[in-house]
Chain A
Amino acid sequence: MNVSPASPRWHTLVATVENKPGVLARVAGLFSRRGFNIHSLAVAPTNDERFSRITFTVDIEGTPLDQVVKQLDKLINVVDITELNPAHSVERELMLITVETGESRKELMEIVDDYRAYVLSDGDDSMMMSWSARPARLDELEERLRPFGIVELQRTGRVALPSLDD
């Protein structure tokens, strides 16, 4: 079940785009019309409000990956696009998850402590937690919580930046 972000099948692309209406549609439309699938997508403005950063995960490599990068780079509103080397980048993803508490509140709290997650909202029979980590670790926590009964779950899609270790 666990998908390692370091697996060669998955590639993380980071694009700096103009922060203008319609830019996300251009990017998403290019993927669909050239027959590529976006596995995960996160987009938000950068510290410079003229630009947004989009982080994609795609499950292609070789020629199709090369094509996606080049075709995205051709979009006028895409300022820059790079593929992040998994060995030299840091990835994080945020998950919000609501789980049935039932008789297991104590057990759940142990998991929360164990993973250093946060309880955001606590109801009579369910609890909402947040956790940010490497995507593979989120998969792990999701599996740990599944037996309790997952009511709702939302993940943001991964964001990534080059690491400073080289």
Chain B
Amino acid sequence: MFSAGSFHPLHLRPRSWNSRLMSTNPTNGGEALVRALECEGVEVMFGLPGGAILPVYDPIIDSSIRHVLVRHEQGAGHMAEGYAHATGKPGVCMVTSGPAATNVVTPLADAMLDSVPMVCITGQVPLAAIGTDAFQECDTTGITMAVTKHNFLVTDPQDIPRIIHEAFHIATTGRPGPVLVDIPKDIVDPVNPRSAMTWYEPDSVPMELPGYHPQTDGDPALIQEAAELIAHAERPVLYVGGGILKARAAEPLLELAELLAIPVVTTLMARGAFPDSHELCLGMPGMHGNYTAVTAMQRADLLVSLGARFDDRVTGRLDGFAPDAKIIHVDIDPAELGKVRQYNVGIQGDCKVVIEGLVDITKKLGPGAQADRSAWRSTVSGWQEKFPLTYEQSLPGDKLKPQFVMEQLRDGNPDDTILCSGVGQHQMHASQFWRFDHPYTWINSGGLGTMGFSIPAAIGAKAGMPDRRVWAVDGDGNFQMTAQELVTATVEDIPIKVALFNNSYLGMVRQWQEMFYDERFSEVHLSDHVPDYVKWAESMGAVGIRVESPEEVAPAIAKANEINDRSVVIEFVTDARENVFPMVPAGATNSDVVVDPSQQHLLDGTGGDS
């Protein structure tokens, strides 16, 4: 490229000029950190450099790890989450101290509530400056204590490989979660003698975690008891949560459900863990679940909870939830057992291991051991026929119905498409109207409900699964929180597709104000005029398309799917008056589920029972 003897621009300098060759072992904390990440199998990380983490960004240049430069640290955290959700591997992000560390607090809390394996590296001011209110100093481990599974403040560079190994071990085993490693600048900075260390492979030394022994094997006696309880149940429901996906237990779940012919509800975190198109699948339960899923749980005589945690959005008012149901609760986290609802059989264990145990015992018991459930199945299918998800089609001149757009989006994409969502009405409509037939195709912020999640999460998912089609569904309120990461998508060549549901409102809040605050709309109208989403998308290097009429919807989706060299944003101008139904009003029991206005007359005094 350039003749011998010519001057070398800095970025073209020969590798021999660089003291840190990959072939030599690290000699300081910064190199050791990057090498330790490589040893843990990290292929992609998301981050943004700054003062305290600067020394670690130098060895990044020579690393095999792909670093994705984000535009805001919150984006780095959500990208790491999206990557983890899609691939099953831990997501990694790295940011500097102070404001960068506080900017990842939201993704950490999000990952904590949704049990997402994630390792976050933060820079910290030098050890001697800690506690002096130094520039860009904050108490990162103190601040993040409540939103991480564990965190570390490293004080000796010699500990770095071991602590990184411990961080990945904690993040990925037991109930997964985020782990933060806070690293003072002086122990990673090669110009500081304090950074000197002697390299060792991270897994070559024993971990120092005397208090961490996650248990995965369920107690065989309890599994036997559970199988027998199931056998005697006449109205059982398998209540399936995100733990199934974390345990990679979708296959044994399918086997168990088919073996027993028991209907399955999949929570918001478990969409795709059991195929929606399967005849036993009742879809999503909870506040915006469909009538059959909600009511089947309500009328069940046994709930078999597999990796679910009786979240308030599922149970509604607790004292009226599934009043006749006995409970089998399986969770890898013992603290979930009995936390919300007392169980009859509580099994601490990995869902996959326990379900395989249940399958074995059920086979041994034989089909003759199972109670007759034909009446239950016909009751459930009666509800399905009577109360399908529905909405009224738009009239000419109306704005688009969001449910219609979601159906078109579903029908215009293959079923292995990865769908990421923000938080609000569009999220509920996506969960309701998409058809999830494969695990790990649905990525959303369930527990924390983090607006702005979808775009960075979609970028993270696409970075981890570059051969898969990744769509982000987003609301206009959400989009304005994290849309700048589309710049990251463009620059880093990680093209995603965004279906932006623009109803000019904070729609879910609007719905609550309409239903529960006498239509007194307070601070929910964003703007009918600004921003111009098409121009905004184009300014970020994406293709922008605005769609306002029903006949334009499918062609726009098809056009977006033909564009693979850059991101695409389709702005669907939707009807703000459209609400999410069914709905269990806050404070009500699930027996008081409100269905679509067009079906409300079908509910009799007994809640529509057949």
Task: Determine whether A87 belongs to the interface, using a CB cutoff of 8 Å to chain B.
Answer: no
For the side of the interface on B, what is the size category?
Answer: 10 to 19
Contact yes or no, A76 B170, CB < 8 A: yes
A50 to B210, CA, bound (A): 10
A26 to B146, CA, bound (A): 8
Q: Which residue of A lies closest to B210 (CB)?
A: A79
Which of A26, A67, A79 makes the CB contact (< 8 A) with B339? A67
Contact yes or no, A18 B211, CB < 8 A: yes
A70 to B212, CA, bound (A): 13
A33/B146 contact (C-beta < 8 A), A78-B211, A79-B210 known: yes
Which of B146, B211, B333 makes the CB contact (< 8 A) with A77? B211
A66 to B334, CA, bound (A): 10
Contact yes or no, B209 A76, CB < 8 A: yes
Contact yes or no, B145 A70, CB < 8 A: no
A22 to B335, CA, bound (A): 23
Task: Determine whether B338 belongs to the interface, using a CB cutoff of 8 Å to chain A.
Answer: yes
B212 surroundings in chain A (CB, below 8 A): 76
A71/B335 contact (C-beta < 8 A), A25-B142, A29-B145 known: yes
Identify which of residues 6-28 in chain A touch chain B, using a CB-to-CB cut-off of 8 Å: 17-18, 21-22, 25-26
A80 surroundings in chain B (CB, below 8 A): 211
B211 surroundings in chain A (CB, below 8 A): 17-18, 75-80
Contact yes or no, B333 A74, CB < 8 A: yes
Task: Determine whether B150 belongs to the interface, using a CB cutoff of 8 Å to chain A.
Answer: yes
A73 to B145, CA, bound (A): 15
Q: Which residue of A lies closest to B333 (CB)?
A: A74
Contact yes or no, A74 B210, CB < 8 A: no
Q: Which residue of B lies closest to A33 (CB)?
A: B146
Q: B142, B170, B210: which has the most chain A beta carbons within 10 Å? A: B210
A33 to B145, CA, bound (A): 11
Contact yes or no, B141 A22, CB < 8 A: yes
Q: Mark A61-89, 1 if CB is under 8 A from B, else 0.
A: 00100110011011111111000000000
B146 surroundings in chain A (CB, below 8 A): 29, 33
Contact yes or no, B145 A74, CB < 8 A: no
Q: Mark B159-196, 1 if CB is under 8 A from A, else 0.
A: 00000000000100000000000000000000000000
A26 to B149, CA, bound (A): 11
Contact yes or no, A76 B338, CB < 8 A: no
Q: Which residue of A lies closest to B149 (CB)?
A: A76
A26/B335 contact (C-beta < 8 A), A76-B170, A76-B211, A78-B211 known: no
A70 surroundings in chain B (CB, below 8 A): 334-335
B141 surroundings in chain A (CB, below 8 A): 22
Task: Determine whether B153 belongs to the interface, using a CB cutoff of 8 Å to chain A.
Answer: yes
Interface positions of B (Cβ within 8 A of A): 141-142, 145-146, 149-150, 153, 170, 209-212, 333-335, 338-339, 342
> Can you list 24 A-B pairs with a CB-CB distance of less than 8 A?
A17-B211, A18-B210, A18-B211, A21-B153, A22-B141, A22-B142, A22-B145, A22-B153, A25-B145, A26-B145, A29-B145, A50-B210, A66-B338, A67-B335, A67-B339, A70-B335, A73-B334, A73-B335, A74-B333, A74-B335, A75-B211, A76-B211, A79-B210, A80-B211
The 10 A-B residue pairs with the shortest CB-CB distance in the complex, in nearest-first order: A70-B335, A79-B211, A76-B150, A79-B210, A78-B211, A76-B212, A33-B146, A71-B335, A70-B334, A29-B145
